[in-house]
Amino acid sequence: MDELECCVLLYRDLDRAHARRRCDQRLQLMTQVADACAAQTALSESKVAALAQRRARKGKQPVHDELPLVNKRSPQCRRVWITVRFNGSQFHGWMRQPSLRTVQEVLEDVIRPLLGQRVRLVPSGRTDAGVHATAQVCQFDALLGDVPVESLVPVLAVQLPGDIRVMRAVVVQPSSNIMVTLWKRYVYRIFGDAASINCFCGQVTQ
């Protein structure tokens, strides 16, 4: 379903002239968002490419370490919360670790060049190796400019690997702290028939 069909379904209860105006406005906004994302991505890619060439000449790694730090005192700085879903089978937990694939590493290595800033993701809780998540929330601070934060979701969907997805992105108050949570929910699913599970019951001690 393309954008025009979405608009027709969204405004089908309005009169024809009004619906057409609303569709035109929505399509124009979507075009502006797409253009802004494309321009921001192209700019970030050119920065990363230049840094890669510079570090290649010096024989150093990694590239993202030379991206500018986020100026949290800037009036354009925003605190962003993203909701992440991932299959943890191929991840060695959340936190960055040398020479290991982690959730934090994969997300930051995509978001940093996209925004052209050395953002740091802070999770509501860290997961261990092999642990999955359906709604892990994490935060980062970044200078967003005129790009709506919601537009990051479809862009990240294209650039992230298939075992991790960003489901939602919102701007929150600067004082919001993802580490201060009211509750967390953990779900444990045990696969196997009843006999294979019950064979461990006799080993439970007080």
Catalytic residue set: 128
Considering only CA atoms, which of 138, 120, 158 is closest in space to residue 38? 158
Considering only CA atoms, which of 47, 49, 120 is closest in space to residue 80? 120
From CA 14, how far away is CA 46, in angstroms rounded? 45
Tokens of 58: 């010096």
3-state helix, strand, coil in the chain (%, to 5): 45, 15, 40
Phi-psi region of 94 (alpha: psi -120 to 50; beta: other; left: phi over 0): alpha
Q: How many CB atoms lie within 10 A of CB 201?
A: 7
Tokens of 35: 């253009």
